[in-house]
Amino acid sequence: MLKKKIGIDAGGTLLKIVIEEKGKITYKKYPIEKLDEAMGWLSILAQQAEVNLTGGKAEYLKKRYFPQARVVTEFKATCVGANYLIKQSRLQIASKFMLVNIGTGTSWYLIEEEKTERILGSGIGGGTFMGLGKLLSSKVEYSQLAEQAMEGDRASIDLLVKDIYHPGEPPIEGTLTASNFAKVEKLGVHSESDMMAALVNMIAETIVLLSNQTATYYQTKVIVYIGSTLIENPALQVGLERFSTLVGLTPHFLPDGEYCGALGSLIV
């Protein structure tokens, strides 16, 4: 009889859980604020199960709830989980690619078949989206902020390339950003949706610019985006795909990619 296996990725924003039982995999996630609440039922479920932990709070979970658990390095678990999901999804991706994990912050990995390496990190990510979002909007929930971003128009907030060259024709794509938030003269006179759209655009452009520079250095154009900040955040996905394509990258979005760490902890 196959032993039940549980993989937990306890990050800065979300608690991601993968349960493997009798060949079937179940995915669950909770806000990190509900960590102790989630562990209440999970510790019961985990009896007689193999538990594997990764993420920033892995050692905390091991000490408090799962003393027999195995702790797996987050970077390794993420890459292994991504490779597994890519094979399961049957995405046609080159053997050498950049994996970009947009969580609370963002990490870049170079993956070439089974060889993996973390090569870059940035503080721009989901934490930026939530933190600045709460300053710019009256909304506080992730889903509400993401909805506002999708509804907004950043043209009244960002200084665009076409604004600088008006009334002439710009030498490059006119809707690219010349300066983020440069049209804001006073907070409170712009719509929250427009400001959220500008914020998401700033995050997307920054991630793509770093991705392009890194990918060029390592001689690949294929980018696989994963991470909790992509969940129910269509404005971010649209921005990442658009800007990636504009700079010559080939972007992919991995289904269930936010679970790469938890899944990889089961496989490593």
Residues acting as catalytic residues: 74
CB 53 within 8 A of CB 71: yes
Q: Alpha helices of the chain — where are they, by DSSP H?
A: 35-45, 58-64, 74-89, 126-136, 142-151, 161-165, 192-217, 234-246, 260-267
**83: Cβ–Cβ under 8 A, 6 or more apart, which residues?**
111, 114
SS3 category, 79: helix
Cα dihedral 58, 131, 197, 170, rounded to 10, equals -100
CA dist 23 and 238 (Å) reads 34
Phi then psi dihedrals of residue 178, to 5 deg: -85, -35
Q: SS3 of 102, please?
A: strand
Inter-CA distances, 231 with 63, 128, 142, Å:
30, 15, 10
Whether the upstream peptide bond of residue 171 has omega within 30° of 0, thus cis, is no
